[in-house]
Every structure is written in C-alpha cells, then in structure tokens.
Chain A
C-alpha cells in the first residue's frame, strides 16, 4: 500500500512508486493526489527548455549544485521523447546529473513523453506535486529538446528558462517565434565557445520591440557556461528575483489559478467523456447512425446536436 505519510516523511522508495502509479494512470490515482495536494505549494518550479544539445541537462546539474549550496532540497523531472513507433524511450538526461545520485536531498526522475505532445509527459504536473509534497524546495523540469511544440512548460513552471547557444543566432526571428515568448529568462549557454554578441543583441532587440514587457518583468539575457561556471551564480540569482517579482506582482497567483482551472476542467471533461461513452454503450452506441451519415442521409452536425440534446439536456437533471 502506498502511504502518503511515508512520502511526506521523505521515503524515496514510496515516492518513486507513487510517481509510477501516477505515470501509469493506476487505480486510485485521484484519491492519492487528493491526499497529496494539501502538502504542496512550497516548491519553486523551474522549467528548462531549448533545442536538443543546448545544455539543458548540464545546466540542471549545475543548478542542483547551486541549490545544494543553499541547503535546498531538489527534485528533477527529466523528460525525453517516447518513440511513437515502439512506445519505448531512451532516458539519457540523468547521465549528466549522476554525481548527485548519492545526495539524500536530490531526487531525479526520468520520464518518457508517452505520446504527449508539447515537450512534457502527461503526468508531469502531477509528478511535480509528488516531489513538492516529498519536501523539495526547488523542482527543475527539463523538457524534450524539440524546439517548436514545447510550449506547455510555461503552464507548469513558475520560472521558465529558454536555453539557446551562440550558433542559433542566425535564425532567431524566424524559427523560434513561439518559444521566445515563453521565456522568463534567456540563457545563452556554451558562451565559452565565443560569438555570443549576435544572439544577445538579437534577443534584446526583439524584447525592445515587444510592448508586452513595459513596466513588467523583462526577461534578462544571461550568458553561461556549464564548463567554466561562468554566469551560473547570476542565473541562480535571476531565478530567485523572478520568483520574488512575480509573487509581489500577483502574477504567480494568477498563473496558479489558470493552471488549476485547466486541471479541474480537464478532469471534469475526462469524467464527462467516460460517462458519455458509457451511456452510448448502453444505448447501442453510434454504430447505427454511421451508415446513415456515410450515405448522406444524416449530417454529422445535426446528429451531434441531437445526441447532446438526448443525453445531456433531456436526461441531464437526473443523470449529472
């Protein structure tokens, strides 16, 4: 039996097993999470995104070190892509963080995306709660490095780092449109390779042109190197400044409310959808009308309205 009390006490095995149950959509998932939820809300959640090989795992590793120097307990969720063909995944981010494996105050978990687009796994937001209740003061989420469709992170993280490298400078206006807008901090990693001037100028110009940042937090651009340690202390202090600023401005709470709205509605939709399909099954499903639709005797639009009327409006009062 998985006990939430053992999670709260910081038992690693229990924590790992609870994460698996959530990932596998196991029985009792919601009941478990509802017991965990009251113990959450204490962690600063950091999202790290950026193109493959930009140095996300290496940055996570040096940030773990910063956090430990400040005596904070750290959780890491490292997401890698699940192969759409085999359903398997090679989870390799951990290689760069293994020196922390024996630290009692560091918990690292790798996850496959399991068919979820957007650079995260479906269970990511719930695993954040588990690590929060486990006692982590800071939780770092490393997204899949696909570069385009990984915008989900902005909904789950309090502070989002977008990692770029000097070589990426040429394309900044064109390919990175979406990802540029989710950054709370721009990290120009591998600055030891030189040539950072162009990309830094490009980003600053882009920010100058955008009216969105006037009077608000303007994403700072920080040059880092995980090899030499350059800029890491500055990045750490910017992350904390961002948290303080967004807490003071109320933005943190606005984001949290948005996140909770999406979460609650998602679960209601899940329930509704299951309820609907069950009702359908009891009523012979929609098999019978598919032929009529295919033969153009009925149209899908009228039929969808009819079904909604029949199952929700007419029966609504005694069923829902």
Chain B
C-alpha cells in the first residue's frame, strides 16, 4: 500500500473565511493526499492535538483575519512542547509580504501562499517539499 501525504487543513481563531480552506482541502484530495479538515474556529491547542492524533505530515493554516503573526508561532510552539516539531507548518491567506518574510525567516512557516496563488503551485510545492518515508 502506497504511503500517502496526510495534511491537516485548519482555520484557527475567529476567522470565518473558510472558502480558501475548503478549496485547498478539495484540491489536495484531488492531488492524491489525505486531508483532514477540522472546520472553523479552532484553537491552536485543538489543531496541535488533531495533528498528533491524525499523524499528519503537514499542518496547513488558513488565516484571513490578520492574526497570522501570533497564530503561526503559537502552533509551532505547541507542536514543539508536544515533541512533534517534525510536523511541518505552512499555510496561506491574506498575509502581507513583510509578514510572509518574517514568518518564514523566524522558522514559523515553511511556506506561505497569498491570494491568487494557483492550486497547481501549491500542490507542486507540497509534493516537492514533504517527504514521506
């Protein structure tokens, strides 16, 4: 049985914009990945617990609320506290260029995709950067 990439797509905080997350979840499924979607209004704690129980390779956060500078680091910290820092964190949403740079340089996100990015770009990036053994 072939190993499949498992992804958790999550919407942290009070952000109600779920269109992008749903589009991404479906697109990753169509690209052959197993996608766990946990719905809206998740706390970082809930996201990290789900990521561990589901044994995903990647956590993809979708944030269009402007709270990305706190949420990405918080999820990374919690993963680390639970000995699960090997799970990759990436995501997308309305994140200004400067913040994208800061989050990536800080090691809080492996990659970030902003509005208008094609699905193909995102799928190709995951396939190229997520190793499954």
Residues of A in contact with B (beta carbons under 8 Å apart): 12-13, 15-17, 19-20, 23-25, 82-83, 86-92, 94-95, 98, 101-102, 107-110, 112, 114, 122
Residues of B within 8 A of A15 (CB): 53
Pairwise interchain contact A110-B46, C-beta atoms closer than 8 A: no
Pairwise interchain contact A109-B1, C-beta atoms closer than 8 A: no
In angstroms, Cα B29 to Cα A92, docked, is 12
Pairwise interchain contact B4-A102, C-beta atoms closer than 8 A: no
A12 touching B53 in the complex, CB below 8 Å, given contacts A89-B35, A102-B45: yes
Residues of B within 8 A of A95 (CB): 37-39
* 27 A-B interface contacts by CB (under 8 A): A16-B53, A17-B55, A19-B55, A24-B3, A86-B30, A86-B31, A87-B2, A88-B4, A88-B29, A88-B32, A88-B33, A88-B35, A89-B34, A91-B34, A91-B35, A91-B36, A91-B37, A92-B36, A92-B37, A94-B38, A94-B39, A98-B46, A101-B46, A101-B49, A102-B46, A108-B50, A122-B1
CB nearest to A15 among chain B residues: B53
Residues of B within 8 A of A17 (CB): 55
Residues of A within 8 A of B39 (CB): 94-95, 98
Residues of B within 8 A of A87 (CB): 2, 4, 32
A98 touching B35 in the complex, CB below 8 Å, given contacts A83-B29, A88-B29: no
**How many Å from the CB of B14 to the closest CB on chain A?**
15
Q: Which of B5-33 contact A (CB under 8 A)?
A: 6, 25-26, 28-33
**How many Å from the CB of A126 to the closest CB on chain B?**
13
Q: Which of B78-104 contact A (CB under 8 A)?
A: 82-84
Pairwise interchain contact A24-B1, C-beta atoms closer than 8 A: yes
Pairwise interchain contact A90-B32, C-beta atoms closer than 8 A: no
Pairwise interchain contact A108-B53, C-beta atoms closer than 8 A: yes
In angstroms, Cα B3 to Cα A110, docked, is 15
In angstroms, Cα B82 to Cα A112, docked, is 26
What are the 10 tightest A-B residue pairs by CB atom distance, in nearest-first order? A95-B39, A16-B55, A88-B29, A101-B46, A25-B1, A88-B32, A90-B29, A87-B32, A101-B49, A20-B55
